[in-house]
Structure 1
């Protein structure tokens, strides 16, 4: 027994040692090696902290910024991204922060942003999706290489402008229900206070349910509720994401997130199988996104073989992405647009005059929407000041060069959309002011042909749903302007914050006036 015990200890030590070395490399040696490599090139930032990097520092900065009241201003950087704003001030625009054990180098030079985003399969890929991100969305937004190319090719036809025209009745039905609801809410009083944020969230969920999945409307509403809950749970979980293995513990949050994934997938699988049966019997209406996607996928299978088409799991993931991205982006844009037009009533008047000149009291149509120049300028300026996604990230999978910087394997690149959109060096000293006239000559003229405005991304991987979101936003805003004027309520608190997308923390309380 005396000999046996030491032998067991030796064997145990031999078995455990590789895991200890692996953990040491992951948690300390690799991050410090990358930190030294970046410092040698003059790229500095807050020091790396074991496992957490700067995540805890970032949450502390956010907590402190949220504790202070904010005035009615578009200077939102100190509240929304205080840690990154301070990092750029202290260490320069090309600086580094730490997302857990991964260094993130800030890239704010438009020419370098162009290089990072321009390659279809290029050198700079999206970071592998974390297990948390996978619980929210996967699909086209996370794929790379040949798989991304295949999915993009199959999905593209569904988002062609001509196909989107066929969805306009669904858009119009949802928007008409919203303004009718608001008219009933105001009633005979002619004006009444309303928090428009929940209703605009419901509107965009309604649109994606109808235009995306047609007759499966009730199931769509349930998916929206589940994804909204999932977003909140994931933002809470980010604070513990740097702790190895924590996500696998049977905590209440971990169990609920996995349960939501299963339920959403089950609902979508049922919807897809019903549509497949309807398509086989010739009873399917393929004017919605699901129908167009399945039609395109079937065509790809017939022409190129099953290996070149998407399987049912792929279709489920793309549908989950439709729901999340389609609802989140547009609800954020419409809410901030109504808030901003309440802060700038003269632009609200100009937008309404244009809508009435183009449509009168008639229901907006697709051709008329393309003539709304002032409305388009306003939407672009709101997207500049309040972009739904405040960061884009890419990463290196091999040693690479970017603008004279030698980037080792494993470095992430952070494209801080919000900071770039508010950068006085790119937009002038009035960068924090609402001036839609910047876009009177289009995006290229406003940006001087630089990549300094990219609310939907840029290059080959630009958001495939951009046209969908813009048509929906123009239509909804036009119908609202036809029926209402609106102003900020005294109870409104200006408090932008991020839960996946940029949102009003305490709602969007406006006073609606029936016209």
Structure 2
């Protein structure tokens, strides 16, 4: 009997080992080869598959090589520096070829630089295309409504929408102005001493203050810890993404994995404390609910009344708050930073914007209705978003066979919708594509380019929910800055856009301010 048990035990172990070997071979070799044949048979060009890591190492090498050298100070031709691998792929396969592919580990990633196909992918509601399962690092760092799909996304979006209505944002204008006043006061003291200012650092503090007050009703000091942790988390995630696709890597007790987990728990604890205090205030009737968290909890409560217990869980509210913190601080601070850098390079446009602001508001505080009359300021912000989009693109995954353009894509293929590439493509924007020319937006976004190739906030039903919030904040801040200061680049400024999840100035943004 014992010998039979040993025999069957050994046979079971052998079968398990064989199953594991087959699964590994399928993941590392057979499936990638099959997907590559399907893509090439339909005329797509791309790199040859290299086992397990694909092109990840080469992407890292080329990016590091590009990031090691600054650009000419007044050049906006940033695409080759920011994503060098994509730029070389476009050169290799022909700039007229808007669809190519490369390898993220064992998965083929199709690079889409065609606006029509981009819109088709973003508009897909039939389940063939979706966000895919978030990378475990991204899941620890950021999730929320931006990563959800289907009914879950629809529920989250519906509950969040009331907090971002323009009328609700209008009520937050005093908080915006209060934060702007503090920034202006600090810069006036700096200008009086003749010291240059790294505006990226100060604008991160400013947008952090704005999101803390408008989203959570607390000042920036109370939210500072979350922002510091988010910055550290972004760097850790960016450094480790190239290895995270390796099976089992997330279970290794590496320094980065351990720290990412610790930050995740610390941020969650801070936000849970804020949320529970607010819920207690709501129960006692002492909460004003005039900030985003209050509006979100109120909307969630209403959803529960209408749909039984089908609202957001406490953990889901935490994830949405984390998304608010990141998106509310990082993307808007970068838009304002690149705007000040670009207007420092183009003094004529800086003066045009200032004259418009003075014509509409004089030296008075900007008003909600008056901001809608700022055509030049709006054109400038759009042109900065074109040249320096915070998000370089959007990733999607094919779940079911789908036809996009002339190509049928099987399940398992990744899409990368290359916003930066489309924003810098002369086929869509003309020969002056690398020039700062806000006039191209004089007749609105839809007529600014061929095929309407402008995607800083995404497109379709999943357009960024915080779009109006970000533009309102950016317009208001820029108005107050232009009312109080003229500015130019410091001689120490190094023009070096690079990517740490979003498009950042690698060496900061030192600027000289002069009070008006």
Which residue number corresponds to residue 70 of structure 2?
A: 69
Which residue number corresponds to residue 274 of structure 2?
A: 271
Structure 1 counterpart SS, 2:446: helix
Which residue number corresponds to residue 98 of structure 1?
A: 103
Matches of 1:9 and 1:310, distance apart in 2: 49
Which residue number corresponds to residue 212 of structure 2?
A: 209
Which residue number corresponds to residue 227 of structure 2?
A: 224
Which residue number corresponds to residue 398 of structure 2?
A: 396
Contact 1:121 1:145 in 2 (8 A): no
Query: Does structure 1 residue 413 correspond to structure 2 residue 415?
Result: yes
Which residue number corresponds to residue 479 of structure 1?
A: 480
Contact 1:359 1:368 in 2 (8 A): yes
Q: Where do 1:99-248 residues align within 5 Å?
A: 99-120=104-125, 122-187=127-192, 189=193, 191-215=194-218, 217-248=220-251
Question: How far apart are 1:346 and its partner, in Å?
Answer: 0.3
Query: Does structure 1 residue 497 correspond to structure 2 residue 498?
Result: yes
Contact 1:393 1:413 in 2 (8 A): yes
Matches of 1:262 and 1:152, distance apart in 2: 25
* CA deviation vs aligned residue, 1:425-461 (integer Å, no higher than 9, x gap): 000011111000000111011135x341010000000
Matches of 1:69 and 1:328, distance apart in 2: 23
Structure 1 length-normalised TM:
0.96
Which residue number corresponds to residue 285 of structure 1?
A: 288
- Identify which range, 236-245 or 463-472, moves more after superposition: 236-245
Matches of 2:508 and 2:90, distance apart in 1: 30
2:352 to 337, 350, 364: 350
Contact 1:51 1:101 in 2 (8 A): yes
* CA deviation vs aligned residue, 1:472-507 (integer Å, no higher than 9, x gap): 000111111111111011100000000111000000
Structure 1 counterpart SS, 2:195: strand
Distance 1:489 1:496, change over 3 A: same
Question: How far apart are 1:69 and its partner, in Å?
Answer: 2.9
Structure 2 length-normalised TM:
0.96
Contact 2:446 2:452 in 1 (8 A): no
Q: Where do 1:386-465 residues align within 5 Å?
A: 386-448=388-450, 450-465=451-466
Contact 1:208 1:323 in 2 (8 A): yes
Which residue number corresponds to residue 60 of structure 1?
A: 61
Which residue number corresponds to residue 314 of structure 1?
A: 316
Instruction: Report how many aligned residue pairs link the two structures.
Output: 511
Which residue number corresponds to residue 384 of structure 2?
A: 382
Gaps of 5+ in 1: none
Contact 1:119 1:460 in 2 (8 A): no
Question: How far apart are 1:108 and its partner, in Å?
Answer: 2.1
* CA deviation vs aligned residue, 1:196-232 (integer Å, no higher than 9, x gap): 1111111111111011100365432211111111000
Matches of 1:217 and 1:512, distance apart in 2: 24
Contact 1:120 1:461 in 2 (8 A): no
Contact 1:171 1:472 in 2 (8 A): yes
Matches of 1:74 and 1:122, distance apart in 2: 38
Distance 1:30 1:493, change over 3 A: same
* CA deviation vs aligned residue, 1:302-348 (integer Å, no higher than 9, x gap): 122112x1111111111111001111110110000000000100000
- Identify which range, 380-389 or 121-130, moves more after superposition: 121-130
Matches of 1:460 and 1:196, distance apart in 2: 34
Matches of 2:475 and 2:69, distance apart in 1: 34
Matches of 1:216 and 1:263, distance apart in 2: 19
Structure 2 counterpart SS, 1:364: coil
Contact 2:107 2:414 in 1 (8 A): yes
Contact 2:360 2:370 in 1 (8 A): yes
Matches of 2:208 and 2:419, distance apart in 1: 25
Matches of 1:145 and 1:4, distance apart in 2: 49
Distance 1:265 1:446, change over 3 A: same
* CA deviation vs aligned residue, 1:37-58 (integer Å, no higher than 9, x gap): 1010111211121111111110
Contact 1:93 1:108 in 2 (8 A): yes
Which residue number corresponds to residue 255 of structure 2?
A: 252
Matches of 1:215 and 1:433, distance apart in 2: 41
Contact 1:54 1:97 in 2 (8 A): yes
Matches of 1:240 and 1:284, distance apart in 2: 45
Please provide the CA RMSD for this pair: 1.6
Matches of 1:185 and 1:426, distance apart in 2: 42
Matches of 1:217 and 1:113, distance apart in 2: 37
Matches of 1:250 and 1:122, distance apart in 2: 36
Matches of 1:122 and 1:85, distance apart in 2: 31
Contact 2:445 2:452 in 1 (8 A): no
Q: Where do 1:323-338 residues align within 5 Å?
A: 323-338=325-340
Matches of 2:460 and 2:270, distance apart in 1: 33
Matches of 2:222 and 2:25, distance apart in 1: 47
Which residue number corresponds to residue 17 of structure 2?
A: 16
Contact 2:379 2:438 in 1 (8 A): yes
Matches of 1:356 and 1:122, distance apart in 2: 50
Structure 2 counterpart SS, 1:239: coil
Structure 2 counterpart SS, 1:95: strand
* CA deviation vs aligned residue, 1:382-416 (integer Å, no higher than 9, x gap): 00000000011112111111112110111111110
Contact 1:424 1:431 in 2 (8 A): yes
1:339 to 329, 338, 341: 341
Question: How far apart are 1:109 and its partner, in Å?
Answer: 2.2
Q: Where do 1:28-43 residues align within 5 Å?
A: 28-43=29-44
